[in-house]
Structure 1
Amino acid sequence: MTAQLEAPATTRAGRGIGGGLVTMMAGAASNQAGAAVGAHAFATIGPAGVVAVRQLVAAAVLLPVGRPPLHRFRWPQWWPTILLGLVFATMNLSLYTAVDRIGLGLAVTLEFLGPLGVALAGSRTRADLVCALGAGIGVYVLVLPRGGSDWAGIGCGLLAAGCWASYILLNRLLGRRLPGLQAPAAATTVSMLLSLPVLAWLITSGRMTSASLLFAAGAGVFSSVIPYAVDLVALRRVPPRFFGVVMSVHPVFAALAGLILLGEALRPHEWLGILIVVAVNALAVSRR
């Protein structure tokens, strides 16, 4: 009788995890498709304009959902919120600039060195040292330094990685001081306010066209709103270890989105570099 009762519960749990993994995959695809959609507006409003509109859309959704009591904030809440907003804006701007210069797949792969660095920081185990070495090899294979390398684009991708690592650490700190979605909602609002001068300039200069606004807003929906909702659902169904491993496939989705939506064909060594970084990231996260 006990075995008969336990089987359906196990099945339901398996279905819950399976459904959560499918949801996460859909969120990863949405995130990278949003970046590709936003790239179509680079020619008219630039990466800074796309980031500004994306932050406006994200704040419009997160602020009423998270409802952070900004009027009751004290300095212990304000300084990490402001810093997180600055990091968030810099991370998105550097990533989109890298996408504009070196392509979506390469830019996102470099950005993922940030969370990998956080996962490996302070570790002294042999396996983690192998992961760190593997990440370095993967990046070298990915970019294969040569005379025609776009070092500014590569630098922007690495800056995005550093910002993402800072974002993770600051989010942990602020998460202990603000419950629920209050921390990301407050930080996104700060980031949006920082972007207002860019929006004002784009509108007054006449560079903001209806098409570019639509593409940039699409980036906000597909890369901010949908992934936030997906993460909330998935975190209730998927163990953190699986969550981190599935997150590691984002560079592959980015490369596919770049290929399908932007016509960015990668060379064999670039695919190999992406797969090495993905494998190393998945291994490092799964051991946590």
Structure 2
Amino acid sequence: MAAVAFSASSVQAGAAVGATLFPLVGPFGVTAVRQVVSAITLLAIARPPLVRLGARRLAPAVLLGLVLVGMNFSLYSAVERVGLGLGVTIEFLGPLAVALLGAGRASRRDAAARVGCGALALAGVVLITDPLTGATPDPLGLLAGGAAAVLWAAYILLSQRAGALPGVTGTAVAGLTGTVLTLPGLVLLLLALPADAVVHVLLLGAVTGVLSSALPYSIDLLVLRRMPRSLFGMLQSLHPVAAAVFGLLVLHQVLGGVQVLGIAAVCAANVLAVLATRRR
């Protein structure tokens, strides 16, 4: 559990650092440099025998790479428009869905509990939009956060399959896949920047890549080999909290009281859903 807590803090600290690069390279540029750094780091560690493993065994890791690119780009697009704390909380609905839908067949009582948890999460999302003040967050940002939620759920499912590969090979292959997809666009973005700005982007991008990708995704992959998927989903409740904290500390993004209550409601819905699952 401590490993998952460290992973969540690392991800959100890296996301906050990466968000400072939006004025220079935008969400896509941050996603791309994060993938490059992650791939270089993990390939150097894992040195996967790609030819010996074969295409069939590598397929889940390749698909995981596609999902990671989409998830990171969607999240950064949401963060750019609605802030780190709110963007990550919307994205967090993905693990919540895994917890609710991955519990298998349920009795009438358990089905009612699932509906209650879903209603609590929905209420949290409504509170996040802060309807009482009329200052509704950017709809495109909320939509991007929703896309990230779907892809995060897919990430959890695919990480278990990619975890069948030895060591952190699955994460390394996923990073390599993401790099192949995003590197051409990153090169074009960097060529359009002054030399000093390129150095700045690469340095902070390296920090973002290690904190948000190489380190936590490897931890998640190893943890999912030993921890039930539903319990892993519950512990993801730490992500919105960590995002709100690092959004405040690094990006100076202050959330309203109603929005904080919405974040708490979404986290509580996830915890209650998984507690019910573990009881069964």
TM-score range, shorter chain: 0.7 to 0.9
How far off its partner does 1:132 sit?
1.4
Q: Distance in 2 between matches of 1:229 and 1:74?
A: 21
Q: For 1:209, what is the secondary structure of its paired residue? A: helix
- Decide whether aligned partners of structure 1 residues 74 and 233 sit closer, same or farther in structure 2, where only a CA change above 3 A counts: closer
Residue 194 of structure 1: aligned partner: 181
Q: Distance in 1 between matches of 2:170 and 2:218?
A: 15
Matched, 1:69 2:56: no
Task: Choose from 235, 239, 264 the match for 1:250.
Answer: 239
How far off its partner does 1:219 sit?
0.9
Root-mean-square deviation (CA), in Å? Answer: 2.6
What does the per-residue CA deviation read over 1:26-83, in whole Å, with 9 as the maximum and x for residues that have no partner?
A: 4322221111111111000111111111111111121233333222354433543332
TM-score, structure 2 as length reference: 0.85
- Decide whether aligned partners of structure 1 residues 172 and 225 sit closer, same or farther in structure 2, where only a CA change above 3 A counts: closer
* Identity in percent: 46
| Conserved 8 A contact 2:99-2:234 | no
Matched, 1:134 2:120: yes
Q: Distance in 1 between matches of 2:237 and 2:157?
A: 18
Matched, 1:38 2:18: yes
Residue 279 of structure 1: aligned partner: 268
For residues 178-217 of structure 1, the aligned pairs below 5 Å read 178-206=165-193, 209-217=198-206
Tell me how many residue pairs correspond in the alignment.
267
For residues 106-145 of structure 1, the aligned pairs below 5 Å read 106-121=86-101, 124=106, 125=110, 126-144=112-130
What does the per-residue CA deviation read over 1:87-130, in whole Å, with 9 as the maximum and x for residues that have no partner?
A: 11000000011111100000100111111111111554232221
TM-score, structure 1 as length reference: 0.82
Q: Distance in 2 between matches of 1:24 and 1:173?
A: 19
| Conserved 8 A contact 2:171-2:221 | no
- The one-letter amino acid paired with 2:147 is L
How far off its partner does 1:249 sit?
1.6
Runs of 5+ unmatched residues, structure 2:
none
Runs of 5+ unmatched residues, structure 1:
1-19
- Decide whether aligned partners of structure 1 residues 133 and 250 sit closer, same or farther in structure 2, where only a CA change above 3 A counts: same
- The one-letter amino acid paired with 1:143 is T
How far off its partner does 1:25 sit?
3.4
| Conserved 8 A contact 1:142-1:273 | yes
Answer with 73-82 or 206-215: which moved more.
Answer: 73-82
Residue 152 of structure 1: aligned partner: 140
- Decide whether aligned partners of structure 1 residues 284 and 230 sit closer, same or farther in structure 2, where only a CA change above 3 A counts: same
- The one-letter amino acid paired with 1:51 is T
- Decide whether aligned partners of structure 1 residues 245 and 172 sit closer, same or farther in structure 2, where only a CA change above 3 A counts: closer
- The one-letter amino acid paired with 2:266 is V
Answer with 250-259 or 197-206: which moved more.
Answer: 197-206
- Decide whether aligned partners of structure 1 residues 84 and 240 sit closer, same or farther in structure 2, where only a CA change above 3 A counts: closer
Residue 85 of structure 2: aligned partner: 105
